[in-house]
Amino acid sequence: MNTALLINTTGLVVRERRINESDRLLNILTPDRGLITAFADGALRLKNKNSAATGLLCYSKFTLYHGKDTYKVNEASAVNVFFRLREDIVKLTLAQYFCELSKNLAPEEENADEYLRLTLNALHLLAEEKRSPLLIKAAVELRMLILAGYMPELGACRECGGHQDDFLFDFDGGILCRNCFAGQKNAVPLSKGVLAALRHIVSSGFERMFSFSLPQNTLEELCRVVERFLLVQTECAFKTLEFFKTL
């Protein structure tokens, strides 16, 4: 094997598919090359050296062989496999949803360090039960949308620039005052607590973006607003989200 074509990186396995009795096809979220697709030959065999580090939700160090059009896993060693997420169906499903989000929104063959940091931080908080799952979900959804270019206007009314206290959230991309609302069907009233939480998620650094709390009813409102904004903006259906909502 030509060592000039070997690439060392870290990455989170956000999707893993069985392609025959022994091989895996991986989608790996990496900091330097974004979302890549790689073959892991023999990784389904229990005695294979790369088996434990190439499963779904594994954050691993990879040595990859980069061919003309494909990547192949040469070596992989696990850094964190997030065992605690696998102990609870709600946490596991939410973790898989975060992976599906990153697979749909993260770039390919470009820097994706912030996508990876966001997803890993969320998985850590979820596994260690550091924050409410619903709070983590809303923060990840909104912040990942922002990384992908879907930034809502939250500073003032997106139509008149007014700074009134009473706003509605327009799912086409920001907040509207009552005067500019004019009966639009794609907007809902927004409580002050939810607006403050939205602004916090948008403006805070990675170290503080999950550091807020809300009463349960306000948290549920935040989740409804952010989830609907995500679905309107991406026009995607997320299978793991639909399953999460049945739990």
Using CA atoms, how far residue 113 sits from 31, 38, 108, 167, in Å, is 4, 19, 12, 34
Residues 36 and 94 in one domain: no
31 within 8 A of 10, measured Cβ to Cβ? yes
Residues 27 and 105 in one domain: no
pLDDT of residue 2: 58
Which value, to the nearest 10 degrees, does the dihedral of the CA atoms of residues 115, 121, 126, 128 take?
160
CA distance 143 to 206: 10
Residues 102 and 224 in one domain: yes
pLDDT of residue 3: 55
Q: What are phi and psi of 73, to 5 degrees?
A: -80, 120
Residues 92 and 156 in one domain: yes
Of 103, 73, 102, residue with least CA distance to 8:
73
pLDDT of residue 1: 52
CA distance 247 to 245: 6
pLDDT of residue 173: 87
Instruction: Mark the ranges of the chain whose per-residue pLDDT is less than 70.
Output: 1-4, 183-184
For residue range 65-77, list pLDDT tens digits in order: 998 778 999 999 9
pLDDT of residue 207: 84
Q: Residue 171 is part of which domain span?
A: 86-244
Task: Give the residue from 42, 64, 81 where a domain finishes.
Answer: 81
Residues 195 and 131 in one domain: yes
Alpha helices by DSSP H, listed for 36-112, are 89-105
Residues 94 and 157 in one domain: yes
Residues 183 and 123 in one domain: yes
Task: Give the residue from 81, 116, 143 where a domain finishes.
Answer: 81
Structural domain count, the chain: 2
pLDDT of residue 178: 86
Residues 131 and 220 in one domain: yes
CA distance 62 to 28: 10
pTM listed for this prediction: 0.93
CA distance 65 to 46: 22
Residues 40 and 123 in one domain: no
Task: Give the residue from 27, 56, 81 where a domain finishes.
Answer: 81
Q: What are phi and psi of 212, to 5 degrees?
A: -155, 165
Residues 29 and 99 in one domain: no
CA distance 87 to 45: 23
CA distance 73 to 37: 10
231 within 8 A of 171, measured Cβ to Cβ? no
The owner of tokens 């995500």 is 230
For residue range 66-112, list pLDDT tens digits in order: 987 789 999 999 999 999 999 999 999 999 999 999 999 999 989 99
Of 51, 36, 41, 48, residue with least CA distance to 19:
41
CATH assignment at residue 32: 2.40.50.140
Residues 91 and 121 in one domain: yes
CATH assignment at residue 237: 1.20.1440.120
Strand 34-40, strand 71-80: pairing: parallel
CA distance 37 to 19: 13
Residues 90 and 52 in one domain: no
